Homo-oligomer: A and B are copies of this chain.
C-alpha cells in the first residue's frame, strides 16, 4: 500500500465498526492484451510513468518538427502563382512566421506555468473565457488530433507507396494498420512509447541539422552551387501579379510550421516533476529547433533555387544539392523525413487521450474516458482516437490531398482562444493590488486545476503581446477557412459547432442526473413491509421450482403466472403445478393472439398500480442459463425481454434466479 491516499482511507475505515477496508490485489487476467501492452501497473506507479525532457521532446515535438518537412514548400507553391521571381519573398515571410512562433511559444510557456495540470488552450479558455470558448477549443483540438493522425499516417504511407508501387492497392489497409500499430505502442504507456519513438525523432533532427549545417558551410565557403536537374514546377493556378492577398495566403500556408506547437501544453502531466519546469524547457527547445530548421530550409531553398514540385520535395532538392547527389546521406535525410511524418501521429496519441480525459472529468465527454487502463494511460481515449482516425482514413481513402484542407483550422482556432484567454488573464492580474495574489479552488480531485493569479508589473506588455498573437493567429485562421472553404474546410466549420453542442448535451445530462441522484432534500421513504411476488412460469421444471423456493424466502404473497399461448401446453402446466406446487397460487392467462409478453406485462403492471407506499412488486424470473454460448439462440430469452420491458415500471424489482445446468 504505497499510495498515501489509500493509507488514509484504510485508517478512516478502521475507526468505524461498520466499515472495513480490504485491498484486493487481483491483477487483470493474463492474455493476449498483456503480451501486447505489457504487465499491468498499479496506480501507485503513476509518478514513475512520467518522462524527462529528452523523451518528452521526442513524444511531443514530432508533430511540430515534421512541419519543417513541408512548410517552406507550402509558401513557395503559393508564391509560384506570382512567378518564380517572387520566391525571394519566402525569406521575410518565414521570418514573420518565426516571430509569430515566438509569440505563440511565449504564450504557451506562460500557460504551462499557470496551468500545470495540462490542457493548454482548453484550460486557458475555461479559466479565463468561459465554458463555450473552452468547449470550442476542446472540439477544435480533438478534431485536429484526429486529423493529425489521419493526415500524417496517410502521407507517410503515400511516401512508402511511391517507393513500392505494388502496395498501391493496399494503401488504406496499410494506413489503418499503421494507426493500430501506433495505438498498440501507446497502450504500453507513455514511457515505453516515448522510448520507442525517440530514435526516429532524433534521427530526423540529426539528419536535418547535418544537411542544413553542411549547406551553410558550403554556402559560406562558396561551394554550394545551384540545384541541378530541377523537377517540374507545380502550379496550382494561373500566374498572376503579386497581390497583398497572395502574400497573406503564402503566409497562412507557411504557418503550417506552427501546428503541433501546442502539444506540450496539453500533455504537461506526462512529464517528470518539476513538470511545469520540464515541460517549459522542452517547449523552448522545440521552438528553437523548429525555428532554426525552418529558417535554414527556407534560406537554403532560395540559395539553390529550389522549386515547389509534385514529384520532388524541397527537402529532397536541398539534400541532393548539399550532398552532391543521391548518396547515402541524401537517402538518410529523405528516409528520416518520411518516418517523422508518420511519427507526427504519435504526438496526437499522447495528447488526445489526456485532453479528452480532462474534458470528460469536466463532464463534457463520457466519463469512461477518465479511466486509466492497466498501463496507467487513458486506454479508452487511445482506442477511440485510433478507431475514429481509421474511419476517416477509410472514408477519405487515405488521400492526403483530400484531408489537408480540413486540417489546421482547428489548431489556429485553439491558438487564438489560448492567446485571447491569456490576454484576459493578464488583465485580471493587472486588476490585482500590487504584490497580492488570488487562488482559485481546484475543480477536480488531483489539485492541478487550481489557478493562481499573482500581480505582475509587466502585465500590460504581456497582455499586448498575447493580444497581438491572438490577432495574428485569428487572421491566419480566417484566411485558412476562406481560401480552403470549398476544398473541404466547410466540413470543419459545420463539425465544430455540432461537436460543441454534443459536449453541452452530455454535460447537461450529467448535471441533471447528479441533481436527481443528489441526497440534498432527500427524505427517506417508508420501509418496505410487504413484497408482492410474481413468478412467471413457462412450464413446471426444476428451474421453476428453484424460483418458487427463492420467492418463498422473501414473501408469502406469491403468484405464479403462466401465459397459455397454446391451451394444451397450459393444461400440462396446470396439472404439473397441482402436483408440485399446489400451495402457491397460479394464474393462467389465455392469449388468443399468441402473444407471450404482453399479457404478462399487463398483469404485472396492474398489480404494481395497486400497491401501497410500503409495498413493492418483485418479479422472480426463473432463468435457464445455457452453459454453451450459442445455445442461447435455442431459447427465447424470456428473462432478458422482461427486464427490458419492466425497467421503466415504477415499484417493480426484477430478481433473476438462474438455473444453471451442470
Contact = CB atoms under 8 A, between A and B. Distances in A.
A40 B593 contact: yes
Nearest to A655: B655
A650 B657 contact: no
A374 B5 contact: no
A367 B634 contact: yes
A486 interface: no
Interface stretch (A110-118, A295-303, A320-328, A541-549): A541-549
B543 A517 contact: yes
A12 B522 CA distance: 51
A174 B247 CA distance: 56
B588 A21 contact: yes
A519 B513 CA distance: 48
Interface string A16-39: 101111111111100000000000
B624 A592 contact: no
Interface residues of A, number: 121
A574 to B, nearest CB: 6
A443 interface: no
A527 interface: yes
B589 A372 contact: no
A590 B9 contact: yes
A518 interface: yes
A549 B528 contact: yes
A657 B646 CA distance: 11
Nearest to A567: B5
Interface string A583-620: 11111111111110011001100000000000010100
Interface string A354-372: 0000000000001110011
Contacts of A594: 43, 371-374
A593 B541 contact: no
A243 interface: no
B26 A598 contact: yes
Contact of A603 (B24, B41, B563, B587): B24
Contacts of A545: 519, 522, 524
A4 to B, nearest CB: 9
Most buried by B among A40, A541, A650: A541
A531 interface: yes
A97 B282 CA distance: 90
A82 interface: no
Contacts of A371: 565, 594
Contacts of A658: 647-648, 652-654
Interface in A612-662: 616, 618, 623-628, 631, 633-636, 643, 647-648, 650, 652-662
Contacts of A22: 587-590
A180 interface: no
Contacts of A540: 519
A21 B41 CA distance: 61
Contact of A661 (B5, B19, B373, B516): B516
A487 interface: no
Interface string A59-95: 0000000000000000000000000000000000000
Contact of A528 (B542, B552, B624): B552
A381 B355 CA distance: 51
A47 B370 CA distance: 62
Given A13-B588, A590-B21, A593-B40, A519 B631 contact: no
23 contacts: A9-B590, A13-B588, A19-B574, A19-B588, A20-B585, A20-B587, A21-B588, A22-B589, A24-B589, A40-B593, A42-B593, A367-B636, A445-B568, A518-B541, A522-B545, A527-B552, A528-B549, A528-B552, A623-B647, A648-B658, A648-B660, A653-B656, A653-B657
Q: 5 smallest A-B Cβ distances: which pairs?
A: A5-B567, A528-B553, A24-B599, A517-B541, A23-B590
